[in-house]
Amino acid sequence: DSGVTQTPKHLITATGQRVTLRCSPRSGDLSVYWYQQSLDQGLQFLIQYYNGEERAKGNILERFSAQQFPDLHSELNLSSLELGDSALYFCASSVAGGGIEDTQYFGPGTRLTVL
Amino acid sequence: GQSLEQPSEVTAVEGAIVQINCTYQTSGFYGLSWYQQHDGGAPTFLSYNGLDGLEETGRFSSFLSRSDSYGYLLLQELQMKDSASYFCAVMKDSNYQLIWGAGTKLIIKP
């Protein structure tokens, strides 16, 4: 157990809908990262927040948005969902603002299925 | 563009040694990390190399050669529980994001 929690564990929805994924980082961690992992593929970095501010942006679609709240939990909002958005969405947290020595700890993931 | 290459699948025998290679082409380089992911599970951090050479952590070691843009993960005394996917990831610059390889599925046979 990494100490990072994600809800919900599974989510099934229809195309065109909007969903919100939630992540609570480990106690004391200031950074939250969001990743997308499609079936049998590697992780695609989406976005990072550090202490409430956006820190780095990866391959995040315009239909997706995220934020980090004052209590440091984060939400990833996915809208106008398409079949291709079906994937595992991982949240990770780290103590500091990033860097190769700033180990990322991953939550269990949310499996999103778009029908 | 940025790319990381690692074999898609490697098969080894329980008790043996296996090496998983990773070559990278990125516009910058700050370090190479390795993560393990069991089926249906979350990635877990194994090691990182910021400088050339070998880093050893128990049965696992990781090596980096920056001049060759190459690294590897070495797993010794393989156990069935080591069956998983292994990802290399490069931090290419100071914007902190990791660029991930597609992963190597390690299959261990008794």
Return mean pLDDT, chain A.
92
Checking if the pLDDT of A98 tops 80, the result is no
Are B43 and A43 inside 8 Å of each other by CB?
Answer: yes
Checking if the pLDDT of A100 tops 80, the result is no
Alpha-carbon distance A32 to B1, whole Å? 26
Asked if residues B2 and B99 have their Cβ atoms less than 8 Å apart, the reply is: yes
Alpha-carbon distance B95 to A69, whole Å? 21
Q: Does B31 touch chain A (CB under 8 A)?
A: yes
Question: Smallest Cα–Cα separation from B22: which of B73, B60, B59, B56?
Answer: B73
Are A103 and B45 inside 8 Å of each other by CB?
Answer: yes
Residue A73 forms beta bridges with which residues? none
Residues in contact with A3: Cβ distance below 8 Å, sequence separation at least 6, in sequence order: A26, A27, A105
For residue A101, the chain B residue with the least C-alpha distance is B48
Are A45 and B97 inside 8 Å of each other by CB?
Answer: yes
Average pLDDT over residues A76-90: 96
Mutating which of A38, A39, A43 best tests the B interface, going by the most B Cβ atoms within 10 A? A43
Contacts of B98 in chain A (CB under 8 A): 45, 104
Alpha-carbon distance A81 to A46, whole Å? 16
For residue A104, the chain B residue with the least C-alpha distance is B45
What string of DSSP letters covers A38-86? -TT--EEEEEEEETTEEEEE-S--TTEEEEE-TTS-EEEEE-S--GGG-
Give tens-digit pLDDT for A26-48: 999 999 999 999 886 778 889 99
